[in-house]
Amino acid sequence: MSEAVSATPGTRVVDGRVVPEAGTWEIDPSHQSFEFIARHLMAKVRGRFPGASGAATVAERPEDSTLEIEIDANSIDTKDDTRDAHMRSNDFFGVEDHPTISFRSTGVRPGKGESEWQVDGDLTIKGTTRPVTVDVEFLGGAIDPWGNQRIGFSGVIPEVNREDWGLTWNAPLEAGGFLLSKSVRLEIEAELIRK
């Protein structure tokens, strides 16, 4: 027999799933992480965009909810100033002409697990918009020491081809193959505050 699910602060139970309370929830800029992982030669390299903002509008029916995220492309941080400058150039993000990376949801549906969701949406990078699906885990809700209602999410896009968004720069290797992988993994961690 399965255990009964129960709501925590900022949450409710709908169709046996704990979901956020209906309303607008804004991403807390000091408690978020938008990262990518790509292969460089034999190692995986991680980069992040600390300049991110956005909000989820949670509907009474969770499937009618929406999510919008704006990322400052210039905020890219791979822990290497030379690489970061290259990634801001037209070889990659072209931040002078395309300062923002954005995601706008087009649909929300339940995933396999009780806390899992699939969020379909349009990802815009360097002026190119393509559909993606984010695998989302809802981490629940709480009230912080200052009385704010908070909810948490983890999200992942397991694999995107960066070349689909015009990020095509690469360098061939003497032994064959290329310096950088085309495939990139995107990861999101975020706390949102009730507005």
pLDDT at 1 over 60: no
- Whether residue 2 has pLDDT greater than 70: no
pLDDT tens-digit profile of 24-57? 999 999 999 999 999 876 678 899 999 999 999 9
- Segment 135-149, tens digit of pLDDT: 999 999 999 999 999
For 94-114, what is each residue's pLDDT tens digit?
999 999 999 999 999 999 999
Pick from 95, 106, 116, 93: which is nearest to 18 by CA? 116
Q: What is the pLDDT of residue 173?
A: 67
Where helices occur in 42-175 by DSSP H, the ranges are 81-88
For range 16-28, the mean pLDDT:
96
Between CA 155 and CA 163, with CA 161 as vertex, the angle to 5 degrees is 135
- DSSP-assigned states of every residue in 135-156: EEEEEEEEE-TTS-EEEEEEEE
Contact between residue 65 and residue 108 where contact means Cβ atoms under 8 Å apart: yes
Taking the alpha carbons of 55, 71, 121, 16 in that order, is the dihedral positive or negative? Answer: negative
- Structural domains for the chain: 11-194 (2.40.128.110)
Percentage of the residues of the chain whose pLDDT score is greater than 90: 82
The model carries a pTM of: 0.90
Query: What gap in Å lies between CA 46 and CA 177, rounded to an integer?
Result: 21
* Closest by CA position to 65, among listed 21, 10, 124, 108: 108
User: Rounded to the nearest 5°, which phi and psi values hold at 64?
Assistant: -95, 5
- 137 Cβ contact list (under 8 Å, min separation 6): 113, 115, 116, 117, 153, 154, 155
Cβ(100)–Cβ(34) under 8 Å?
no
Q: How much is the CA Rg of the chain, to the nearest whole Å?
A: 18
Q: How many angstroms separate the Cα of 195 from the Cα of each of 18, 38, 105, 106, 149?
A: 20, 35, 20, 22, 9
Burial (CB < 10 A; 0-12, 13-18, 19+), residue 127, is exposed
